[in-house]
Chain A
Amino acid sequence: MLEIFTKLADWATYDILQLSPTSSFAQALHFFIEDVTKIFFLLILIVFAIGFFRSMLTPERVRKVVAGRSRTVSYPMAVGLGAVTPFCSCSSVPLFIGFLEAGIPLGVTMAFLIASPMINEVAVVVLAAAVGWKVALLYVAAGLSVGIIGGLAVEFFKLEKWVEEYVWKIRMGETAIQQVGTSFKQRLEYAWQQVKEIVGRIWLYVLVGIAIGAGLHGFVPQSFFIKYASLDNILAVPSAVLIGIPLYSNATGVIPVVEALLSKGVPIGTVLALMMSVAAISLPEMIILRKVLKPQLIATFVGILFIAFIGVGFLFNAILA
């Protein structure tokens, strides 16, 4: 079904603009046209469908569901719900405080916050459309595992001392559960509202990601990646993770870059490690979390994720590449 977007790009690039398929510019433009149409089509479709069918899954509900569970249940639950619960990173602070206030351990809370930006339904479907279901499922499995490992590490090192003191004093009022109407019309309205909000929030990241992917695809020769990013280069995975730390994009926005890198023969573990690093660790998010976490905890947290992503990269390269 998605071949239609390839055909559309073929038609625009080679028939309308009469560009030669061998030129770098034509290849970049083809990639750009195909990905813009395909990704935005999928984005709108999926966000709308999920908004329409899902009863509201709010952070307030997650808090109630996770609170008071044993660790063996709460960790997997936190990463799973972190992946599917929509929330804007500007809500990270109230979410963090609300979880702790409900008695949810710091480790479980961090597991939720790690998994949340890395995995979401839209990114998984777009990733599957771009590079196949196998890679998409691997990414999900790795993301959930890193969330749990990161949370357990925070718990193991007993980092509660590095949470700002005022956080423990805040008391939360009775949780307001948002009511969404269940009539057909109300569901349509809600779904459309979700499309406007989510696409409005991430379209620029996606567009920039596609432009970078197109540039890599068209203008950077495969020999460059073979030279610097092959399996023989032991520094390739750590470098990919390091490059991803300051870069920030929505998970969906990194996918065109992932697509371009994989097609150039960069090993899958290296590419997935980069994607996780870009999506999960970001400066804006750290600045927001600084309101509730002391610098030592932020540094440790980034360190734990850095090591975990490198581990994921090497593991997948060893098994699959």
Chain B
Amino acid sequence: MKHFKILGSGCKNCDNTAALIEAKAKELGIEVEVEKVTDIGAIMGYGVMSTPGVVIDEKVIHAGGMPTPQAIQEWITS
């Protein structure tokens, strides 16, 4: 099962991003785990300065702004 981490210290776009991924996964019938990382030290540890950031299995794949639905679909299915 894919493990998503959403990096962001509680901004609206971060919550939206987490919700989008969960919704898309449900729609596709694929189980994923989505975890929100709000600790600033942990976020910086990934080298991300512009939030929200998205991490899959400890690899940063996105930073700064909401991801597109197409991108989310690719992350979940690839």
A residues with a Cβ closer than 8 A to B are: 58-60, 63, 87-88, 90-91, 93-95, 97-98, 101, 166, 169-176, 178, 189, 193, 197, 291
Find residues 3-22 in chain B having any chain A CB closer than 8 Å to their own CB: 8-9, 11-14
* A58-B47 contact in complex given A88-B11, A170-B40, A176-B53, C-beta closer than 8 Å: no
Report B-chain residues with C-beta under 8 Å of the C-beta of A173. Answer: 44-47
B36 CB to closest chain A CB, in angstroms?
14
Whether B50 pairs with A95 at a CB distance below 8 angstroms is yes
> For the complex, what is the distance from the CA of A95 to the CA of B41, rounded to whole Å?
12
Residue from A60, A169, A291 within 8 A of B50 (CB atoms): A60
Whether B64 pairs with A59 at a CB distance below 8 angstroms is yes
Report A-chain residues with C-beta under 8 Å of the C-beta of B12. Answer: 90
Given contacts A58-B50, A90-B9, A170-B44, 6 further A-B contacts (CB under 8 A): A58-B49, A88-B50, A94-B43, A166-B41, A170-B40, A193-B66
Whether A176 pairs with B68 at a CB distance below 8 angstroms is no
Report B-chain residues with C-beta under 8 Å of the C-beta of A94. Answer: 9, 40, 43-44, 48-51
Whether B64 pairs with A98 at a CB distance below 8 angstroms is no
Query: What is the number of residues of chain B that contact chain A, defined by CB distance less than 8 Å?
Result: 26
Report B-chain residues with C-beta under 8 Å of the C-beta of A166. Answer: 41
Report B-chain residues with C-beta under 8 Å of the C-beta of A170. Answer: 40-41, 44
Residue from A87, A90, A176 within 8 A of B47 (CB atoms): A176
> For the complex, what is the distance from the CA of A291 to the CA of B11, rounded to whole Å?
14
Whether A175 pairs with B47 at a CB distance below 8 angstroms is yes
Report B-chain residues with C-beta under 8 Å of the C-beta of A88. Answer: 11, 13, 50-51, 65
Whether A193 pairs with B68 at a CB distance below 8 angstroms is yes
Residue from A60, A90, A93, A193 within 8 A of B63 (CB atoms): A60
> For the complex, what is the distance from the CA of A181 to the CA of B19, rounded to whole Å?
25
* A178-B11 contact in complex given A91-B50, A93-B40, A95-B50, C-beta closer than 8 Å: no
B53 CB to closest chain A CB, in angstroms?
7
A-B contact pairs, 26 of them (CB 8 A): A59-B64, A60-B47, A60-B48, A60-B50, A87-B64, A88-B13, A90-B8, A90-B11, A91-B51, A94-B48, A95-B49, A97-B44, A98-B44, A166-B41, A170-B40, A170-B41, A172-B45, A174-B47, A176-B48, A176-B63, A178-B62, A178-B63, A189-B70, A197-B65, A291-B9, A291-B40
> For the complex, what is the distance from the CA of A101 to the CA of B41, rounded to whole Å?
12
> For the complex, what is the distance from the CA of A63 to the CA of B43, rounded to whole Å?
16
Report B-chain residues with C-beta under 8 Å of the C-beta of A95. Answer: 49-50
